[in-house]
């Protein structure tokens, strides 16, 4: 009889324990699914945030900057322009691989998908005075001699030269970006647009 009692009481206890285990397994599975879902949601939000951050940073670097102008510069039409402009010479750099080119131009693709061109030249000062400021405009032109893109930049003073003494030279470069593969880039030109002398 004792064995019948144990069997009788053992049966319901075993069934309850099995039901508890099944419910615990279901809860664990549900908890694991909710954790996985939470991790996926957090990862997706983080990915969107990081992509947005990169987009903003790339747009900021691609945003056109207003052209720099040299304050108090001698410009076309000023009395001293004709006298000194022809004595500030822009030549091709000596290390340019293209013989006979007026200015050395390089192009490279950027991460944004556009093309960036860097135009280099050597400035020669034959004015007999010190150039304390020099502004140049670099232009990429098409086959119809029309400007595709241009950029004005102050090249003296710069990190390479604080000023340009008489009968001295200094290398300069101007970078223009935002070109596409379909842009007609036939030639380049650089010209002095302003200068200050001492």
Q: Is the dihedral of CA 25, 30, 36, 39 positive or negative?
A: negative
70: in domain: no
**Pair (29, 98) in one structural domain:** no
For residue 46, is it within any domain? yes
37 and 99 within one domain: no
Task: Identify whether residues 91 and 177 lie together within a single domain.
Answer: yes
Among residues 21, 37, 63, the one where a domain terminates is 63
CA distances from 134 to 74, 83, 105, 146 (A): 10, 16, 20, 24
- Decide if 92 is inside a domain: yes
pLDDT at 65 (0 to 100): 56
pLDDT (0 to 100) of residue 126? 92
Q: Is residue 177 part of a domain?
A: yes
CB 101 within 8 A of CB 147: no
The CATH number of the domain holding residue 174 is 2.60.40
Write the pLDDT tens digit of every residue in 4-24. 444 445 555 555 555 556 655
Contacts of 192 (CB under 8 A, 6+ apart): 85, 88, 90, 134, 135, 136
Looking at the fold, whether 46 and 119 belong to one and the same domain comes out as no
pLDDT value at residue 51: 87
Question: Do 2 and 100 belong together in one domain?
Answer: no
| Predicted confidence (pLDDT) per residue in 74-87, tens digit | 888 988 888 999 99
Q: What is the pLDDT of residue 27?
A: 65
Question: Is 68 within a domain?
Answer: no
Q: Does 156 lie in the same domain as 90?
A: yes
Task: Please indicate, yes or no, if residue 175 is contained in any of the structural domains.
Answer: yes
Statement to judge: residues 190 and 98 lie in one domain: yes
Residues of the chain with pLDDT under 70: 1-27, 29-30, 59-68, 97-102, 159-161
Task: Decide if 116 contacts 179 (C-beta within 8 A).
Answer: yes
- The residue count for the chain: 198
* Distance (Å, whole) CA 119 – CA 176: 8
Beta-ladder partners of 77: none
- Does residue 71 lie in a domain region? no
Q: What is the 3-state secondary structure (H, E, C) of 81-110?
A: HHHHHCCEEEECCCCCCCCCCCCEEEEEEC
Please tell me whether residues 132 and 90 are part of one structural domain: yes
Q: What is the domain count for the chain?
A: 2
Name the pTM for this structure: 0.61
Residue 74 falls inside a structural domain: no
| Residues contacting residue 125 through CB under 8 Å, at least 6 positions apart | 87, 88, 131, 164, 165, 166, 167, 168, 169
Q: Which helix (H) or strand (E) holds 170?
A: strand 169-179
Same domain, 12 and 104: no
Which of 60, 96, 77, 195 is closest to 137 using CA atoms?
Answer: 195
Residue for token digits 């950027």? 110
Domain residue limits at 55: 1-63
């Amino acid at each position: 009889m004792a064995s019948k009692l144990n069997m009788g009481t053992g049966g319901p206890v075993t069934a309850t324990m099995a039901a508890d285990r099944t419910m615990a397994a279901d809860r664990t599975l549900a908890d694991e699914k909710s954790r996985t879902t939470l991790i996926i949601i957090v990862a997706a939000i983080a990915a969107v945030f990081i992509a947005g951050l990169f987009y903003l940073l790339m747009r900021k670097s691609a945003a056109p900057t207003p052209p720099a102008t040299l304050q108090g510069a001698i410009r076309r039409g000023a009395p001293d322009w004709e006298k000194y402009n022809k004595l500030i010479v822009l030549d091709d750099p000596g290390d340019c691989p293209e013989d006979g080119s007026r200015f050395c131009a390089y192009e490279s693709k950027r991460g944004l998908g556009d093309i960036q061109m860097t135009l280099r030249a050597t400035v020669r000062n034959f004015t007999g005075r010190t150039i304390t400021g020099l502004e140049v405009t670099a232009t990429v032109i098409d086959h119809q001699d029309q400007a595709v893109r241009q950029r004005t930049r102050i090249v003296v003073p710069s990190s390479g030269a604080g000023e340009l003494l008489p009968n001295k030279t200094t290398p300069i470069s101007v970078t223009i970006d935002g070109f596409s593969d379909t842009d007609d880039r036939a030639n380049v030109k650089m010209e002095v647009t302003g200068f200050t002398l001492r």
